[in-house]
Amino acid sequence: MTGEFHPPARILMGPGPSNADPRVLLAMAKPMVGHLDPEFIRIMNNLQDLLRHIFGTKNPLTIPISGTGSAGMEAAFVNVVEPGDRVLVLINGVFGERMADVAERCGANLRTLAAPWGQAFDLEAIEKELCAFQPRVLAIVHAETSTGVLQPLEEFSDMMKKHPDTLLLVDTVTSLGGHPVKVDEWGIDVCYSGTQKCLSCPPGLAPITFSARAMEKIKNRAKKVQSWYLDMNMVGKYWGSDRTYHHTAPISMTYALLEALRIIGEEGLGPRHERHRRNHLALVNGISAMGLSMLVDEPYRLWSLNAVSIPPGIDDPRLRKKLLEEYNLEIGGGLGTLKGKIWRVGLMGYSSNETNVLYFLTALEQALREQGFEVPKGAGANAAKEVFIKAQ
């Protein structure tokens, strides 16, 4: 490669990353300072306050892990799981499977509870497993990116109170910033996310928070955390009052996340969640009007990640290639058992807007027509507009 590179300015409506707010990208171009500079420490303090607000928690150790969302997952498990600990992982998609893999690598005594991909878990089934297995950790994905399922966590607080020795570990990579997340109210002990989805920031940091119960478990481990880099006993000292050097923080990415959270604060969490819900409903109304269907039943659909069932006879790779090359529009295909069966359409953060909904439905109509699938002209976009008009 010679000369300056110019990546295309895609419309990102896949499972992530989403488009970053221009203010976030500009923040990354600001001058770097040292990672122990007093000004950077002030930025760190502000960032922690903003993260606590969006997580719905007062946990002191609420920080961004230097790494992507998967680093957040690993940090969550390696800190609270010791060899031999009983761990129950709930699996209804790819990222539940990944949780189980990470727990196994930690030496956990692992048990899994499965639900069909595209469905949420039954609370009674979970409680039955809790009573039978009595795990040290219960792990679940709040927003399963591979299927578009949102697992209701509102009732988990009462359930977990019956199991005081079990820590609740939750993946909110695709929900934080687009759906309500209430760590303290729901009784979550370890909760992690990623920056590149509903927070509308480039990938590279993983917000995470640990409850007092989780911190007690970490501090009283029989053996050291297996990962030096992700050991919260040490990382926490850098983000705490000690400010002890651990590793060089990604300065520019920290600027970006700070600005992304400032933007969320300006919009307000309530209006932001409602925007995601409204755009999701408009997209679903348009999909239905085009003769297509959603994979997930209505009560459990993610607003930020929409799983659309691919109609019979449609060439999935060909259609997504057309959207990318002719419309500059990226959507995702299915993973695992859902490969070739669904499209994953993201409406996350900055990318969750009325223009993108209408543009996607119009482009999808043309791509379907090209493959012989009859769609009433303008049906999808017109149906979506009805939702937007009612919301005015």
Q: Give the span between the Cα atoms of 174 and 47, in whole angstroms.
A: 20
| The predicted structure's pLDDT at residue 1 | 63
Q: Dihedral of CA 13/356/5/321: which sign?
A: positive
| pLDDT at residue 306 in the model | 98
Half-sphere exposure in the Cβ direction for 73 (13 Å, CA)? 23
Terminal C-alpha separation, the chain: 49
Measured in degrees and rounded to the nearest 5, phi and psi for residue 288 equal -65, -40
Helix, strand, coil share of the chain (percent; to 5)? 45, 15, 40
Q: Per-residue DSSP letters for 137-192?
A: EEEEESEETTTTEE---TTHHHHHHT-TT-EEEEE-TTTBTTB---HHHHT-SEEE
- Claim: this prediction has a pTM higher than 0.85: yes
| C-alpha dihedral sign at 241, 244, 245, 247 | negative
Task: Provide the pLDDT for residue 3.
Answer: 84
pLDDT tens digit at each of 392 positions of the chain? 678 889 999 999 999 999 999 999 999 999 999 998 999 999 999 999 999 999 999 999 999 999 999 999 999 999 999 999 999 999 999 999 999 999 999 999 999 999 999 999 999 999 999 999 999 999 999 999 999 999 999 989 999 999 999 999 999 999 999 999 999 999 999 999 999 999 999 999 999 999 999 999 999 999 999 999 999 999 999 998 888 989 999 999 999 999 999 999 999 999 999 999 999 999 999 999 999 999 999 999 999 999 999 999 999 999 999 999 999 999 999 999 999 999 999 999 999 999 999 999 999 999 999 999 999 999 999 999 999 999 98
Q: Which CATH number fits the domain 269-391, given the four candidates 3.10.129.10, 2.170.130.10, 3.90.1150.10, 3.10.20.90? A: 3.90.1150.10
Range(s) of the chain covered by CATH 3.40.640.10:
22-266
The CATH architecture assigned to 22-266 reads 3-Layer(aba) Sandwich (3.40)
CB–CB of 171/89 below 8 Å? no
Q: Nearest Cα to 149, choosing from 172, 179, 117, 123?
A: 117
Q: What residues does CATH 3.90.1150.10 cover in the chain?
A: 269-391
Q: Give the integer Cα–Cα distance in Å for 331 and 12.
A: 7
Please give the single-letter amino acid code of residue 149.
Answer: V
